[in-house]
Amino acid sequence: MAGEFPALRANEYRDAWCGQVLPDRVDSGVRVAGWVHRRRDHGGLIFIDLRDRTGLIQLVFDPDDTSGPAFELGHKLRAEDVLSATGQVVRRSDETVNPKMATGEVEIRVKDAELLADSETPPFEIESFSGEVSEEMRLRYRYLDLRRDRMREAIELRHRVTRAMREFLSGEGFLEIETPVLTRSTPEGARDFLVPSRLRRGSFFALPQSPQLFKQLLMVGGFERYFQIARCFRDEDSRADRQLDFTQLDIEMSFVNVDDIIDMNERMLAAVLAEGGVQVELPMRRIPYDEAITRYGTDKPDLRFGLELVEVTDVFRESEFKAFRGAIEGGAMVRALNAGTREMSRSDLDGLVSDAQELGAKGLVWAVVEGDGWRSPVAKFLSEAEISAANEALGASEGAVLLLVADEPLLSAEVLGELRRRLGGRLGLIEEGANELLWVVDWPLLEWAHDEERWDPHNHPFTSPAGEFDPDDPGAARAKAYDVVWNGWEIGGGSIRISDPDVQRKVFATIGIDEAQAEERFGFLLDALRFGAPPHGGIAYGLDRIVALLTRAESIRDVIAFPKSASGVDPLTAAPAPVDERQLRELGIAVRGGGPRREADGES
Ligand code: ASP
């Protein structure tokens, strides 16, 4: 909170913020309040670093200046006690100036002090927090964890980021509009959280996975520019760094095309990220989905380093090496990446083979360029011509480490893409402080869900196809969709929506939602689309992720005041928790199975 201090109305607790006690106040009286951050007893003198939201100030308890009761109190103070102290601001002597502290040139000679609340010994130290404190412990005592600088700064930045969003969007004529939390299922591909209705037994609300349908209805309602900082709920199995409830910046606009949306969003991102000191170069790069997969093996490429994938299927089409030739005949592609000239041990290389297998590939071939040949477990199966063609395609020179995967086209790309991502970090290819933002555009509209043997929307079923939609060739359809990717993280995504009810019906039918189901689940949307729906589209951003990237936090949990743990529970309130049998009865609900509810089951 450098520099600016919120106005303070003087009262019995304080008349200044701790951080505000600077050399310009020397010789004047001051009253401050806060928590005892650190206490040192130097013979006759007691030093306290007092902490409030704005920082630290040193208090000196000295029997020459300090009242008897206050001095006695000074003796008893312990870390995290809450104190109000009055005294004189004095300049510190040269040798005691603390350049690490914003208020380090001065101190307060305490006249009087009052203990406002005492603290038990905290379960972990706030002052000298070590990373060894378990996250479980931090979340159980989150209110103490939040007192740490790092957490406070993250939450302050989060506030500034949302404020920048609100200011930018308001300036562009967007209206902030709330949508319901108790609603119907909004298909975004996750499980719904359900809320039983007491008044309509046997019926359930769903918590929104996103405000998607309501924001579309707001466009039909004529608002044209909407945004909301919206809580969304997705009942997913604990997946790395996700939260069951999380926050989106949700946006929708009418009478716009993809370029309009991208233009507005780029300007907004530049304004918002500047809040966290990140400069965004405009216009941002745009990469078509297919290109992202071919060159980087992922739909969220990290462009802070090269290591691009190269397809070398043709090189090995006639190869004596059966693993490659056979795979190619079966429809596989051989993709490769040149990891550059590196010292990699045999066990590092074998480690990559097992990584690739864990990622689902049948195998991985490594090779090190040596003279005209390769040092590789498969070198003896390959002809000189194949090796030199591959070297040429990969731009490989002496000592280069090459990795090759032959597998289904998408899988071979994804496996190498993931290895690329890991190597980027491991080989130190990422420049400190670098930022690369881009748009991934031209997405497929649908994807084939092998397990269920049907087409699924790539994003959600309301995304507009680009051009005519041909239900006989769903795989060919492209979507008017776009994602924003920042340093390999998808931070936002959206699309132009279907605004024609017939197209919407066709898309529903293609993904296995028949007329009756469409009417039952989305009749209200289909109705609305019949009453003059403007062309419209929008986007949603993961706010938690954006703030986490800005603060370089390891987890989004570090930028949420009260997050769930990685396993989806809240150690602070112990939610989720069993409920009274009476509550269940009112709801007409009996719980079957499940740990803690078994006994209750028996009762009902
Ligand atoms: N509703 C989408 C989501 O939550 C975003 C959008 O299409 O605007 O991912």
Q: How is residue 580 written in tokens?
A: 């009274």
| Closest approach atom of ligand 1 to CA 211 | 1
Please give the DSSP secondary-structure letter assigned to residue 71: H
Which residue has the least CA distance to atom 1 on ligand 1?
A: 212
Question: Closest ligand 1 atom to the C-alpha of 481?
Answer: 7
Please say whether the beta carbons of 374 and 387 come within 8 A: yes
Mean pLDDT computed over 521-532 = 96
Phi, psi of 99, rounded to the nearest 5 degrees: -65, -15
Asked whether residue 525 carries a pLDDT value surpassing 70, the answer given is yes
Q: Which of 460, 490, 539, 541 maximizes ligand 1 atoms within 8 Å of its Cβ, making it the mutation to test the pocket?
A: 460
Dist. CA 248 → ligand 1 center (Å): 9
pLDDT of residue 450: 86
Q: How far does the centroid of ligand 1 lie from the alpha carbon of residue 272, in Å?
A: 19
Indicate the average pLDDT of the chain: 94
The single-letter DSSP state of residue 221 is T
Q: List all residues whose CB is within 6 A of at least one atom of ligand 1.
A: 188, 210, 212, 460, 493-495, 538-540
pLDDT of residue 452: 87
Which tokens hold the place of 119?
């603290």
Q: Which atom of ligand 1 is nearest to the CA of 537?
A: 8
Percentage of the chain lying above the pLDDT 70 cut: 97
Instruction: Please compute the mean of the pLDDT values over residues 100-129 and round it to a whole number.
Output: 94
| Residue % of the chain over a pLDDT of 90 | 91
Nearest CA to 156 out of 276, 246, 268, 272 is that of 276
Closest ligand 1 atom to residue 463 Cα is 7
Q: What's the CA-to-centroid distance between 187 and ligand 1, angstroms? A: 10
Residue 10: phi and psi, rounded to 5, are -60, 135
Question: Could you tell me the sign of the dihedral formed by the alpha carbons of 292, 296, 302, 305, in that order?
Answer: negative
Count of C-beta atoms within a 10 Å radius of residue 39: 20
Span 119-165, pLDDT tens digits: 999 999 887 777 688 999 999 999 999 999 999 999 999 999 999 99
What's the pLDDT at 43? 80
- On the 0-12 / 13-18 / 19+ scale of CB atoms within 10 A, 286 is middle
Residue 93 φ/ψ, nearest 5 degrees: -70, 155
Rounded to an integer, what distance in angstroms lies between the CA atom of residue 143 and that of residue 122?
Answer: 11
Q: Which two tokens stand for residue 364?
A: 């991985």
How far away, in angstroms, is 529 Cα from ligand 1 center?
19
538 has which bridge partners? 252, 495
Q: What is the pLDDT of residue 595?
A: 58
pLDDT at 600: 40
Atom 4, ligand 1: which residue's CA is nearest?
210
Mean pLDDT, rounded, for 329-338: 97
Checking if the pLDDT of 95 tops 60, the result is yes
Q: If DSSP states are collapsed to H, E and C, what string results for 129-197?
A: CCCCCCHHHHHHCHHHHCCCHHHHHHHHHHHHHHHHHHHHHHHCCCEECCCCCCECCCCCCCCCCEEEC
Of the candidates 577, 584, 576, the residue with the CA atom closest to the CA atom of residue 600: 584
What number is the average pLDDT over the span 341-345? Answer: 91
> How remote is the CA of residue 147 from the centroid of ligand 1, in Å?
34
Ligand 1 atom closest to Cα of 251?
8
Tell which residue, 384, 391, 388, 408, has the closest CA to residue 328. Answer: 408
Distance from residue 305's CA to the centre of ligand 1 (Å): 29
Asked if omega into 377 is within 30° of 0 (cis), the reply is no
Name 232's Cβ contacts closer than 8 Å, sequence gap at least 6: 208, 209, 210, 211, 245, 246, 247, 248
Q: How far apart are the CA of 294 and the centre of ligand 1, in A?
A: 25
Task: Indicate if the pLDDT at residue 31 is higher than 50.
Answer: yes
* pLDDT at residue 602, rounded to an integer: 40
Q: Looking at the CA of residue 186, tell me the nearest atom of ligand 1.
A: 1
Q: Which residue has the higher pLDDT, 129 or 521?
A: 521
496 CA to centre of ligand 1 in angstroms: 11
Question: Is residue 382 within 8 Å of 375, Cβ to Cβ?
Answer: no
Contacts of 191 by beta carbon, 8 Å cutoff, 6+ apart: 234, 235, 236
Distance 537 CA to ligand 1 centre (A): 10
Nearest CA to ligand 1 atom 8: 539
In the prediction, which pLDDT does 604 show? Answer: 35
Q: How far is the CA of 301 from the centre of ligand 1 (A)?
A: 20
Which tokens go with 470? 């041909």
* Integer Cα distance of 569 and 562 in angstroms: 11
Residues 6 or more apart whose Cβ sits within 8 Å of residue 313: 328, 332, 333, 334, 335
Across 36-50, 145-159, 232-246, 559-573, least confident range: 232-246
Query: Ligand 1, atom 6: nearest CA belongs to which residue?
Result: 494
Query: If you measure from the C-alpha of residue 288 to the centroid of ligand 1, how many angstroms do you get, rounded to a whole number?
Result: 19
Asked if 89 contacts 106 with a C-beta cutoff of 8 angstroms, the reply is yes
Are β-strands 245-254 and 400-407 bridged in parallel, bridged antiparallel, or unpaired? Answer: unpaired
Mutate to test the pocket of ligand 1, among 209, 261, 445, 459 (most ligand atoms within 8 A of CB): 459
Centre of ligand 1 from the C-alpha of residue 398, in Å:
47
Phi and psi angles of residue 278, each rounded to the nearest 5 degrees, phi first? -105, 125
Q: Which residue of 226, 229, 248 sits with most ligand 1 atoms within 8 Å of its CB, as the best mutation to test the pocket?
A: 248
β-pairing, 400-407 vs 333-341, is: antiparallel
Runs of H (alpha helix) within 404-481: 409-426
Q: What atom of ligand 1 comes closest to residue 232's alpha carbon? A: 4
The pLDDT value recorded for residue 598 is 40
**What is the average pLDDT across 498-509?**
96
SS3 381: helix
Determine the distance separating the centroid of ligand 1 and the alpha carbon of 149, expressed in angstroms.
34
Q: Is the peptide bond before 535 cis (omega within 30 degrees of 0)?
A: no
Ligand 1 atom with minimal separation from the 497 CA = 7
Average pLDDT over residues 528-533: 97
213 alpha carbon – ligand 1 mean position (Å): 10
Q: At which residue do the structure tokens 């312990």 appear?
A: 78
**C-beta neighbour count of 157 within 10 angstroms:** 18
Predicted pLDDT at 597: 38
Would you say 399 and 406 are in contact if contact means Cβ atoms under 8 Å apart? no
- Rounded CA separation 295/30 (Å): 63
Tell the residue nearest (CA) to atom 7 of ligand 1: 494
Residue type, 378: V
393-409 pLDDT per residue, tens: 999 999 999 999 999 99
Atom of ligand 1 nearest to the CA of 539: 8
Model pTM? 0.94
pLDDT at 599 over 60: no
Q: Which atom of ligand 1 is nearest to the CA of 462?
A: 7
d(CA 184, CA 118): 48
pLDDT at 524 over 70: yes
Neighbours of 82 (CB within 10 A): 16
Specify burial of residue 240 (Cβ count, 10 A radius: 0-12, 13-18, 19+): exposed
